[in-house]
Structure 1
Amino acid sequence: MTPALPPSVQAVQALPCVPDILSVMAEMTGLRFVCVAHVTPTSWTTCAVLDQLDFGLQPGDPLDVSTTLCDTVRQADATIVIDHVSQDDLFKDHPCPRQYGFESYISIPIYDVSGAFFGTLCGLDPRPLRLSDAKTVKSLELFAQLISKQLEAERRHADRISELSDEKTTALLREQFIAVLGHDIRTPLSSILHGAQILQQRGGDATMLTIARTIQRSGQRIGRMIDDVLDFARGRLGGGIALEREPVDDLADALAQTVLECQSEHPRRTIVSDIAIPGTVWCNRDRVTQVLSNLLTNALRYGAAGTPVHVAAQVEDGTFRLAVANQGETIAQEKLGKLFQPYWRDDGHPQRGLGLGLYIASEIAHAHGGGLQVLSRDGHTVFTYTAPAGLR
């Protein structure tokens, strides 16, 4: 029988934001090992981890705290940032980097509900990485603050489960914090994307161009993740995603372009499209193409490899209909209603992305006065977006 995880680990595991924070942190910095650890004077325990280095730690696993720099963070109550251990006068001879084999490292304090030191948000990598940029450090410190706030919110919720008004207030504060966090991340991200674009324009050898394209793709992925988190926050705070509709004459072209972009990101998959939209559709073009992008991404991720994904868009009887279908495992009936819930995770599949794409697509459909439905049977799954076309 698997022993129960320590309460500190369970507390962090209960926070839905933590996997997303670790994912965005790894994308932002290039660190291939990031984790949340509970740190005391006598112990260091893994609470949550994203490990691309096969470091081997799982939630609940300990380290000798005296061998870690997190203990130094606890004692100093301050962040530690190292870009390149071998060139760092303070840490180049420290035994910790030699023991764990890293060149770049960051560790940021996390506090519990009482304001006491709880642990750290930390990461490391065998490669030197530029971590000490002020905007990067500020963004990661905001991540640590968000975890602290989440720990506080969850503890208060557990202590005052009957006080529904307090629970609602805490949820609103949490989502407001997510929205602010997304804006703070955008500034350094814009610099990263601009730099990658300049590198590609200047040319250079094949290796440099490959690196620049990788940076750009990673930055664009982070940007999409930020957009999803902000849409989630706006939807919860404002009672739905706000949008402005207008007459759109080129919706078919915009949807076709979205299909091409998804096809270029998945060159080994086949997308078959049938897009026929006569006249003008009253909608928000960017949001409708976002729905298609989210649905296509979902179908390409979870559809059976080697089978085509089908896209159909048309207007019938004053209703705009957009459908995306794929073959693969049939989704159980009891799970269908949960697909549009934010952060919902199917235990039978590994989680990829933030888990917000279908929720946001559904919210966009509602904002257009329509809906998003799913049907799955006999190995065939189809998501259908419908909304009034308002043809003129």
Structure 2
Amino acid sequence: MVGIDTQAEIDAIEAINAVPEILQVVIRTTGLRFAAVARVTDSHWMACAVHDLIDFGLRPGDELVLESTICNEIRQHRQPVIFGHASQHPVFATHHTPLQYGFESYVSIPILRSNGEFYGTLCALDPLPSTLDAEVISQTLGLLAQLIASNLDLHERLQHSDRALQSERETAHLREQFIAVLGHDLRTPLNAVRLAADLLEQKPLDDAARRLAKLIQSSAARMGGLIEDVLDFARGQLGEGVKLALEPHADFAHWLHQVVAESQAGKRGEPIRVVIDLPHAVNCDRARIGQLLTNLLANAITHGDPEQGINVSVGVQGETFTLAVRNQGPCIPAEDLPLIFQPFTRGRGGQPREGLGLGLYICAHIAKAHQGTLSVTSTPEAGTCFTLQFPLTMAA
């Protein structure tokens, strides 16, 4: 350990309200007139709390040369050291520590953290010799040392919790700022671009200028879609989730036919085949389900065989709403299936793709928000099929 954070070590011990009383119990139990909690590392000895009746001269934050202390030896063997008359002791009569600091009586108990880490010692000393009951002192002060260690562990956990809470607050603040930037600061100028393009198209323009106006409109629309995707991604990643406006829709089948028709307008080859059987109203967020279906159809149009066509089936199985989009074409590799709903995931093949690779990720979160699932299967025989299922009666 290269250094020691003096104030942090003192604060950790001061956070234990019982430490002053613990030091008084040490003095009453041992009869010695100086007691301390010492932080001992492989390079430092520092007093963190002191109860001094003999003006020994140590205050919280004061340090001793590590090698001059008995605590350094305790750090290595982790056993209590107790003696009441150093000058007559077979070992400590010639030991450098009692000679240097001038004490006869000494008690030091190791403080061990729950993970086995050596923290320091609970110690007491006196210049006068004393008769010490080593067994009673070892047991009593050992319990007090365990109490200090347990409180240090608790203090550390509370610090970790405080840091985690602060991190969550910062994340929440970042989420609010990020969503505000997407929701307002980017969409506001983009709406101005769209409006300007619409006004420009109403002017008498030559063919080249009209093509440019339409290009601005289509690019602005695509940018708006990207912003919405990133906004949904941010809500999903930062914990807010996809928000829903749930209500029963008796005309839900008509709405889905309209979504398919819009996707069909940009598709070449075989038409999209649709089978919808909804005997009653469906409680859902119609716009979000439309967004999901649009994304699945765009995915099928991009990756499927245009000559094979796309099948959309919608119905009710028991108390479960089911929507499936199936296309023929290259299969999704088996190793890619577990990753298909991850953000920024794209199909293989080396061809450049539009978008950010967030479509299926957002679809999965729309399904989750409806308390349902979005699954995928892909085989050469059956093709690739994405299936949405959610309960018709959702819990609040």
When normalised by structure 1's length, the TM-score is: 0.53
Letter in 2 for 1:364: I
What is the distance in 1 between the residues matched to 2:196 and 2:309?
36
1:292 corresponds in structure 2 to 293
Counterparts in 2 of 1:273 and 1:210: CA distance versus 1, 3 Å: farther
Q: Is the 8 A contact 1:270 1:307 kept in 2?
A: no
Q: Indicate the SS of the match to 2:307.
A: coil
What is the distance in 1 between the residues matched to 2:173 and 2:347?
27
Counterparts in 2 of 1:267 and 1:346: CA distance versus 1, 3 Å: closer
Deviations 1:171-226 (A, max 9, x none): 76775554233231101110111122223344644434333222211111111110
Letter in 2 for 1:220: A
More off after superposition, 344-353 vs 306-315: 344-353
What is the distance in 2 between the residues matched to 1:241 and 1:367?
6
1:367 corresponds in structure 2 to 369
Q: Is the 8 A contact 1:373 1:383 kept in 2?
A: yes
Q: 1:341 offset after TM fit, Å? A: 0.8
Letter in 1 for 2:379: R
1:381 corresponds in structure 2 to 384
1:179 matched to 2:179? The reply is yes
Counterparts in 2 of 1:174 and 1:203: CA distance versus 1, 3 Å: same
1:55 corresponds in structure 2 to none
Please list, as runs of the form range in 1=range in 2, the aligned pairs for 1:26-41 lying within 5 A after superposition.
none
Q: Is the 8 A contact 2:270 2:308 kept in 1?
A: yes
What is the distance in 2 between the residues matched to 1:312 and 1:390?
21
Residues paired across the two proteins, number: 229
What is the distance in 1 between the residues matched to 2:213 and 2:312?
32
What is the distance in 2 between the residues matched to 1:275 and 1:203?
45
1:318 matched to 2:319? The reply is yes
Q: Indicate the SS of the match to 2:212.
A: helix
Letter in 2 for 1:373: S
What is the distance in 2 between the residues matched to 1:376 and 1:254?
28
What is the distance in 2 between the residues matched to 1:377 and 1:169?
46
1:51 corresponds in structure 2 to none
Letter in 2 for 1:340: F
Counterparts in 2 of 1:172 and 1:218: CA distance versus 1, 3 Å: same
Q: Is the 8 A contact 2:269 2:309 kept in 1?
A: no
What is the distance in 1 between the residues matched to 2:320 and 2:312?
17
What is the distance in 2 between the residues matched to 1:349 and 1:322?
30
Deviations 1:95-128 (A, max 9, x none): xxxxxxxxxxxxxxxxxxxxxxxxxxxxxxxxxx
Q: Which runs of 5+ in 2 are unaligned?
A: 1-162
What is the distance in 2 between the residues matched to 1:329 and 1:175?
38
Counterparts in 2 of 1:244 and 1:345: CA distance versus 1, 3 Å: same
Q: Is the 8 A contact 1:179 1:229 kept in 2?
A: no
Q: Indicate the SS of the match to 2:261.
A: helix
Letter in 2 for 1:288: I
Q: 1:386 offset after TM fit, Å? A: 0.8
Q: 1:318 offset after TM fit, Å? A: 2.3
Counterparts in 2 of 1:259 and 1:347: CA distance versus 1, 3 Å: closer
What is the distance in 1 between the residues matched to 2:269 and 2:248?
36
1:271 corresponds in structure 2 to 272
Please list, as runs of the form range in 1=range in 2, the aligned pairs for 1:206-285 lying within 5 A after superposition.
206-268=207-269, 270-285=271-286
Q: Is the 8 A contact 2:171 2:238 kept in 1?
A: no
What is the distance in 2 between the residues matched to 1:165 and 1:334?
38
Q: Is the 8 A contact 1:276 1:313 kept in 2?
A: yes
1:355 corresponds in structure 2 to 357
| Sequence identity percentage | 39
When normalised by structure 2's length, the TM-score is: 0.52
Q: Is the 8 A contact 1:294 1:361 kept in 2?
A: yes
Counterparts in 2 of 1:319 and 1:173: CA distance versus 1, 3 Å: same
Letter in 2 for 1:387: F
Cα-Cα RMSD: 2.8
Q: Which runs of 5+ in 1 are unaligned?
A: 1-162
1:188 matched to 2:189? The reply is yes
Deviations 1:42-66 (A, max 9, x none): xxxxxxxxxxxxxxxxxxxxxxxxx
Counterparts in 2 of 1:266 and 1:205: CA distance versus 1, 3 Å: farther
What is the distance in 1 between the residues matched to 2:171 and 2:306?
39
Q: 1:322 offset after TM fit, Å? A: 0.9
Counterparts in 2 of 1:172 and 1:303: CA distance versus 1, 3 Å: farther
Q: Is the 8 A contact 1:281 1:390 kept in 2?
A: no
Q: Indicate the SS of the match to 2:302.
A: helix
Q: 1:353 offset after TM fit, Å? A: 1.1
Please list, as runs of the form range in 1=range in 2, the aligned pairs for 1:30-69 lying within 5 A after superposition.
none
What is the distance in 2 between the residues matched to 1:374 and 1:178?
31
Q: Indicate the SS of the match to 2:193.
A: helix
What is the distance in 1 between the residues matched to 2:354 and 2:171?
24
Letter in 1 for 2:366: I
Q: Is the 8 A contact 2:272 2:311 kept in 1?
A: yes
Counterparts in 2 of 1:224 and 1:301: CA distance versus 1, 3 Å: same
Q: Indicate the SS of the match to 1:299.
A: helix
Q: Indicate the SS of the match to 2:262.
A: helix
